[in-house]
Copies of this chain bind each other. A is one copy, B any other.
Amino acid sequence: MTKMMIGAAQIGGIQRAETREEVVARMLALMDEAHDKGVTFLAYPEMTLTTFFPRFYVEDRAEFDHWFETEMPNAATAPLFARAKSYGMGFTFGYCELTPEGQHFNTSILVSPAGKIVQKYRKTHLPGHAEFEPERSHQHLEKRYFLAGDSGFNVVRNQGVLMGMAICNDRRWPETWRVLGLQGVQLVTIGYNTPSQNNLSSDEGLEKRLYHHELSVCAGAYQNSTYAIAVAKCGTEDGNHMIGGSIIVDADGFVIARAQGEGDELIVAQADFATCDFGKSTVFNFAAHRRVEHYTKITTQTGVEAPE
């Protein structure tokens, strides 16, 4: 079976005062709609359960521990797992994870149709900054509230398909896509919360950010011959606007479904994972064409080292 109906459940803004239970109810409504449309794998955004709190600064990080989940599933999300299982649907969503050791991660999980968590991913490329920076039009404190992920990018076979996860800013980094591609990935899921305004440049607003988002996802999909689902939490959260633009992209890098609005919205597409094979065996036949001896700097060097 190489064909599958896949869906992206875009979520509109979640206000600070909303409870997990209220959010899960919205997620369930989209899951029901997805099931009605024949979807058997559904992707929700990054940090689906809460507002995007890294826009707020608190001196004592512990004050924000209430945005984190200490177990998964938990009481609030159990209905999601149960409903998906009843539908025989696989799904993925992102949340903030607080480990027993007290570590904070921006995490997503992949859940099989049997309701089992088959993979956990912790966001690698945290954007933003760790301290309050008054020159910014708004704060983006992911480096304050999270540790950089320790999981790396891993591919797992779920529902017969080689799947991998990435989160938000990861999609701008071709390394993300390539590490997944080198594991034969056929479907990359990416949840995101992307402010509509660059907080250091009044020049970079909604239109430019939507372009960069889509450019990165389409290039990553094309260059690794993989489907991708990129799904937003978007619209306005407590007065802060985030881009929509949820898309499903085929293995040729073409957008095959696109959200129209900035609220809760389901988009679906029929994927045929057999179509990944053509690119993987021709122009992007890695074994035939990659020249790793010329890529050394990619792994030996983190920052720029420019010639004189």
Q: Which of A60-68, A98-106, A147-155, A232-240 contacts the other chain?
A: A147-155
B253 touches A215 (CB 8 A): yes
Given contacts A127-B283, A173-B290, 18 further A-B contacts (CB under 8 A): A124-B291, A125-B290, A126-B289, A148-B291, A174-B175, A174-B177, A174-B223, A175-B290, A178-B295, A179-B295, A182-B301, A211-B253, A212-B252, A212-B253, A215-B218, A215-B222, A216-B223, A280-B304
A292 touches B287 (CB 8 A): no
Q: Which of A212, A219, A290 counts the most B-chain CB atoms under 10 A from its CB?
A: A219
State the Cβ distance, A130 to closest chain B Cβ, in Å: 10
A299 touches B296 (CB 8 A): yes
B215 touches A219 (CB 8 A): yes
B residues within 8 A CB of A202?
none
B174 touches A178 (CB 8 A): yes
Instruction: Tell me the complex Cα distance, A153–B208, Å.
Output: 29
State the Cβ distance, A118 to closest chain B Cβ, in Å: 11
Given A182-B301, A289-B125, do A294 and B152 touch, yes or no (CB 8 Å)?
yes
Within 8 A of B (CB), among A93-125: 124-125
Nearest B-chain residue to A293, judged by Cβ: B152
State the Cβ distance, A54 to closest chain B Cβ, in Å: 15
A307 touches B175 (CB 8 A): no
Q: Which of B173, B182, B288 is within 8 Å of A223, CB to CB? A: B173
Which of the four size classes fits the interface of chain A? 35 or more
Nearest B-chain residue to A199, judged by Cβ: B282
B298 touches A175 (CB 8 A): yes
Nearest B-chain residue to A182, judged by Cβ: B297
Instruction: Tell me the complex Cα distance, A36–B142, Å.
Output: 50
**Does residue A172 face the partner (Cβ distance < 8 Å to B)?**
yes
B residues within 8 A CB of A157?
307-308
B residues within 8 A CB of A211?
253-254
State the Cβ distance, A307 to closest chain B Cβ, in Å: 6
B residues within 8 A CB of A208?
252
**Does residue A181 face the partner (Cβ distance < 8 Å to B)?**
yes
Q: What are 24 A-B interface contacts by the 8 Å CB criterion?
A: A149-B294, A157-B308, A162-B307, A173-B289, A173-B290, A174-B175, A175-B178, A175-B290, A175-B295, A178-B295, A179-B294, A179-B295, A182-B303, A201-B278, A212-B222, A212-B253, A215-B218, A216-B223, A286-B304, A287-B304, A290-B302, A290-B303, A292-B299, A292-B300
B residues within 8 A CB of A282?
198, 200-201
B residues within 8 A CB of A152?
293-294
B residues within 8 A CB of A304?
181-184, 280, 286-287
A182 touches B289 (CB 8 A): no
Nearest B-chain residue to A301, judged by Cβ: B182
Top-6 shortest CB links A-B: A287-B303, A184-B306, A174-B174, A219-B219, A152-B294, A299-B299
Given A162-B307, A215-B222, A216-B219, do A287 and B299 touch, yes or no (CB 8 Å)?
no
